[in-house]
Structure 1
Amino acid sequence: MTVQYDSIGGSGLQFFGTVSASISHELKNVLAIINENAGLLEDLTFAARRGSPIDPDKLDRTVQNFSKQIHRADEILKNMNRFAHSVDQFESQIDLHDLVVLVANLAARKAAMGRISLATTAPAQPIHLTCNPFLLENLVWLCLELAIAATGAGRTLTLIPEKTASTILLHITGIDGLSETLPVPDETGFEAIRAALGATMTTDPAGHTLTLHLA
């Protein structure tokens, strides 16, 4: 692949900015919950200093909430780190399932805003391909945006990597409002990214499935 980073121009920057903003919102939510639990600890400390017995169950719940949010923040930052490093190399060998899991994690907040869940299914054997990881993340993200927009609340979208004898595929299933053609806004840079990766997209309305043909 000889396409340079500037071929995606503003689209790549918009994608990076959108994901960064989503991550910052998630971290702010974590900090808000930690701050709330810090207030509960202050209340318990104040009560203890006045001679009131400390409720061990309440203290344990507060500590568990701290641990839960610390773990959540750690996972968010791990995803952020992996995403940020995806621009380190113009071309590298990637594990498709690992990349799909990362993008699904990054898009989980966006999906949740529409009361939609995201799930992934691991292939029986690892699927590797050589490409620009950032461009592929961007393409999968844009496909998820299309799928989320066409899916009703309460549904689950499942991302399924597949390797056949002749090609590598990524299916997104569970799109209940899927049509033969999906409207792709020009400003997303979808076509430029798709062409850069040599990918094609097909839809199966009866099977509620969008498929990316990657290689």
Structure 2
Amino acid sequence: MDNLNNKAKFFGKVTASLSHELQNVLAIIKETSGLMEDMLNFSEDFAKLEDNKLGECIKTIKNQAYRGVDLTSGLNSFAHTTDSIQASINVYETIKKMIFITKRLFQQKGVNVSITKCHKSYSIITDTVFFQMLIFSCIKSLIENFDNTTTITLDINSSDKITTIKFTNNDDTLKFDDYKQMLTKSMLWAEICKFCEQLNFKSEITADTPGILITLK
């Protein structure tokens, strides 16, 4: 286990360092494109052009630079989760960032994954890497076990000392016994249960709609 943790820390450290350098590169591109845009806006000859292709190119560069900054920022934050085995994390913010950096994987399958805004901040001390792997496995399970999945929504609810994360599939045509059997017989469900055991969480199939409920103890 120590070797695995050391490998994860090494990978995280290198990734964090590289993503930080990429952020610096993108920041320079963003600032330069903004300066070029300002200079062109002040040019009278440029302002008279009807077909402002150069301006559109600069705008594209600027927008992609902003997108790149967001992506590398998310990657940098993700890489730092390997810094320590146990850490205090904000449940909502951690899940939100993880969904952001992995959304392309889900979009390739035609699935939109979103998390409902959580106004109550809730933090736990846990293994951050395993926690994110659990979240990813739950989403993946709902995608791979149901053919008609187009939307998956995550909801976080807290009451007293218990916090739950509910993963809901948009397909409400399935009956409870059917989708329960589909989920619990999959290899991903065994993986989810294993993560929950390691994290001291509880996993169950939701009774109202096809989905998974994770209880943080």
**Fold shared by both chains (TM-score > 0.5):** yes
Matched, 1:199 2:194: no
Matched, 1:179 2:174: no
The change in CA–CA distance for 1:153 and 1:94 in structure 2 (over 3 A counts) is same
Contact 1:170 1:213 in 2 (8 A): yes
Where does 1:156-175 land on structure 2 (aligned, <5 Å)? 156-175=151-170
Quote the residue 2:43 is aligned against: none
Q: Which amino acid aligns with 1:197?
A: L
The change in CA–CA distance for 1:6 and 1:162 in structure 2 (over 3 A counts) is farther
The change in CA–CA distance for 1:5 and 1:198 in structure 2 (over 3 A counts) is farther
Q: Which amino acid aligns with 1:59?
A: L
Quote the residue 1:39 is aligned against: none
Quote the residue 1:122 is aligned against: 117
Q: How many residues align?
A: 178
Q: Summarize deviations over 1:71-110 as a string: whole Å, max 9, x none.
A: 1111111111111100111111110001110121122011
- Provide the identity percentage: 15
1:175 deviates by: 4.5
Q: Which has the higher contact order (CA 8 A, sep 6+)?
A: 1
Quote the residue 1:141 is aligned against: 136
User: Which of 64, 68, 72 is 2:59 aligned to?
Assistant: 64
In 1, the alpha carbon distance for the partners of 2:204 and 2:190 equals 18
Output the TM-score relative to the length of structure 1.
Answer: 0.69
Q: Summarize deviations over 1:24-53 as a string: whole Å, max 9, x none.
A: 9xx9xxxxxxxxxxxxxxxxxxxxxxxxx9
In 1, the alpha carbon distance for the partners of 2:215 and 2:155 equals 12
1:163 deviates by: 0.8
Matched, 1:214 2:211: no
The change in CA–CA distance for 1:157 and 1:6 in structure 2 (over 3 A counts) is farther
Matched, 1:131 2:126: yes
The change in CA–CA distance for 1:152 and 1:59 in structure 2 (over 3 A counts) is farther
In 2, the alpha carbon distance for the partners of 1:68 and 1:188 equals 42
Q: Which amino acid aligns with 2:100?
A: N
SS at match of 1:157: strand
- Which runs of 5 or more residues in structure 2 are unaligned? 23-47
Contact 1:179 1:205 in 2 (8 A): no
Quote the residue 1:99 is aligned against: 94
1:204 deviates by: 2.1
In 1, the alpha carbon distance for the partners of 2:191 and 2:87 equals 22
User: Which of 130, 145, 153 is 1:150 aligned to?
Assistant: 145
